[in-house]
């Protein structure tokens, strides 16, 4: 099927949010998609919720990991199962606006882009807008991305027909950042569609809210995945700190 979009969704104990996330996919104006949800051994009711959606719509597919493995392994499992021409990412607590897939897919097809992303807005845990928009850059290259991860995972999409199936590095956190860097080693630019097409849920217990922890994982990414020296990894980690403070 032409231009099938495979949506990659890891799930772990997201019973409070997963229905809204799935509904935001069902409400897309572009309907040629499959949603591959990988459950990372949840202990809440999210599995039952997802199973009910799978029975209603065969485009929603649930797979279960045998042991808790983290988002990288869950996402890579979903990518390995994907049938789509395009790979898109949506976490189990985030949302897409109805025209997200249609506008972004046209943006990529019309310009033959391999990797794209969009602007997004922040919501709180209850789904209320926080009056904060993250406006994406028009384009990003590898060197620019080293200073800060400027691509929101919930907005990213890559063209599998152009790139092949590109997997995330097998690290516990910041694996999405590692994926964009990996792609940008072969592609000159990633391109931004500067429309708000997604909603990022800001959760108090989220790892992304633990700034010290995030910086540690950034350093590990630079050192272990990007194979930088100690001093270079430290330099780019410091650049990340400065960029976060300036935002």
**Dist CA 75 CA 224 (whole Å):** 20
Low-confidence ranges of the chain (pLDDT < 50): 207
Distance from chain centroid for Cα 15: 19
Its CATH architecture, for the domain 5-204, is: Alpha-Beta Complex (3.90)
pLDDT at 108: 98
Residue 158: the pLDDT is 98
Whether 152 and 117 have beta carbons less than 8 Å apart is answered as: yes
Cβ-based neighbours of 211, under 8 Å, separated by 6 or more:
244
196: β partners: 119
Q: What is the pLDDT of residue 247?
A: 66
**Per-residue pLDDT tens over the stretch 164-215:** 999 999 998 899 999 999 999 999 999 999 999 999 999 876 545 566 778 8
Query: Using CA atoms, how far apart are residues 219 and 92, in angstroms rounded to an integer?
Result: 26
Amino acid 206: pLDDT: 55
Whole-number pLDDT of residue 210: 62
């Amino acid at each position: 099927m032409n231009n099938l979009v495979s949506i990659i969704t890891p799930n772990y104990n997201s019973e409070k949010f997963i229905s809204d996330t799935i509904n935001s996919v069902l409400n897309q104006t572009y309907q040629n998609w499959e949603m591959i949800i990988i459950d990372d051994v949840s202990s809440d009711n999210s599995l039952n919720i997802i199973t009910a959606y799978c029975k209603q719509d065969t485009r929603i597919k649930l797979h279960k990991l045998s042991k808790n493995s983290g988002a990288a392994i869950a996402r890579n499992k979903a990518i390995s199962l994907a049938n789509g021409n395009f790979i898109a990412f949506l976490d189990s607590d985030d949302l897409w606006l109805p025209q997200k897939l249609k506008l972004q897919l046209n943006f990529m097809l019309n310009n033959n882009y391999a990797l794209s992303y969009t602007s997004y807005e922040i919501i709180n845990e209850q789904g209320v807008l926080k009056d904060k928009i993250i406006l994406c850059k028009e384009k990003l290259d590898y060197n620019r991305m080293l200073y800060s991860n400027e691509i929101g995972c919930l907005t990213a999409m890559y063209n599998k027909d152009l790139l092949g199936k590109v997997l995330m590095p097998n690290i516990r956190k910041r694996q999405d950042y590692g994926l964009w860097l990996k792609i940008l080693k072969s592609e000159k630019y990633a391109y931004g569609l500067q429309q708000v097409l997604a909603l990022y849920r800001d959760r108090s217990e989220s790892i992304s809210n633990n700034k010290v922890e995030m910086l540690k994982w950034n350093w590990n990414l630079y050192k272990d995945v990007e194979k930088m020296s100690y001093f270079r990894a430290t330099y780019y980690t410091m650049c990340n700190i400065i960029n976060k403070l300036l935002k």
